[in-house]
Amino acid sequence: MLKIKDLHASVDDKEILRGINLEVKAGEVHAIMGPNGSGKSTLASVIAGNERFEVTQGSIELSGEDLEEVSPEERAHKGVFLSFQYPVEIPGVSVTNFMKTAINESRKAKGLEDMPAKDMLKLIREKSELLEIDRKFLSRSLNEGFSGGEKKRNEIFQMAMLEPKIAILDETDSGLDIDALRIVASGVNKLKSKDNAVILITHYQRLLEYIVPDFVHVLHNGKIVKSGGKELALELEEKGYDWLKQETAV
């Protein structure tokens, strides 16, 4: 589904991603871990098409299509979703209105009519129940004054509404309390299918107890320095990153 080959990306001439190779197949869950500043969010941004970063080498393919010339909104229409580490605020725009616009823009791109209000309502009801979101919340301005955890849960609500093919969750677990983490994780699990895939960026083993990854990768200095199964996460939790850093320095 997603195939990343020798990806290099930089911002303001500073190279951040230095040759990433990653293949994610339909039905898989991949976890990406790694020390602060190693380039995890940058990788997520670049996959989503953020033009702030310049891809200097390599390629990203989605279902066989090279994404180089594909705009961020078109990537979204094709099923790329990013749950942001730091979701932005849009004052005066309600969550409902925002989602409605997003869904209808995607439909428009596919040559479909706007979603009828009735269906939209049904969808909202269904997904807000899935994530145990109070409906009142949906009339509030997007992310404005949301607590850290609320922002994260709202990201996953949006993911549920948009039903992406590949979802990248950038530290969605940080900021969530224990109950919220369980709710969000079970939401993600319910949305998971053999036709879609999830990339989890996280620092903590806890999330991976709920959403069990097929693969765990460690990013360091813009490169994947180690990959393994779910037990790698446990090993990292125990040992930290130093041993890997040393290993790669050699």
Examine residue 101 and tell whether it contacts other proteins (CB under 8 A): yes
Q: Do 204 and 173 form a contact (C-beta atoms < 8 A)?
A: yes
Report which of 66, 67, 46, 44 is spatially closest to residue 168, judged by C-alpha positions.
44
Residue 235: CB minimum distance to other proteins, A: 33
Q: Which does residue 230 bind out of other proteins, Mg ion, ligand ATP, none, counting CB within 5 to 8 angstroms by kind? A: none
* Positions 186 through 215 that interact with other proteins (CB under 8 A): none
**DSSP symbols for 76-126:** HHTTEEEE-SSPPPEEEEEHHHHHHHHHHHHHHHTTPPPPPHHHHHHHHHH
Examine residue 106 and tell whether it contacts other proteins (CB under 8 A): yes
Q: Write the interaction track for ligand ATP spanning residues 53-92; mark x where CB under 6 A is met and - where it is not.
A: --------------------------------x-------
Beta strands at 197-201 and 166-170: parallel, antiparallel or unpaired: parallel
Which range of residues in 23-31, 45-53, 189-197, 222-230 is near other proteins by CB under 8 A? 45-53
Residue 95: CB minimum distance to other proteins, A: 11
- Closest to other proteins by CB, 50 or 205: 50
* Structure tokens, 47: 């996959």
Q: Which does residue 178 bind out of other proteins, ligand ATP, Mg ion, none, counting CB within 5 to 8 angstroms by kind? A: none
Q: Which of 6, 23, 25, 37 binds ligand ATP (CB under 6 A)?
A: 37
* Structure tokens, 87: 């979701």
Report which of 197, 194, 193, 235 is spatially closest to residue 218, judged by C-alpha positions.
235
Examine residue 108 and tell whether it contacts other proteins (CB under 8 A): yes
DSSP 8-state class, residue 53: S
Cβ atoms within 10 A of the Cβ of 93, count? 15
Question: Residues interacting with other proteins, by CB under 8 A?
Answer: 48-52, 71-73, 75-77, 80-82, 84, 87-88, 90-93, 97-98, 100-106, 108-109, 114, 141, 158, 162
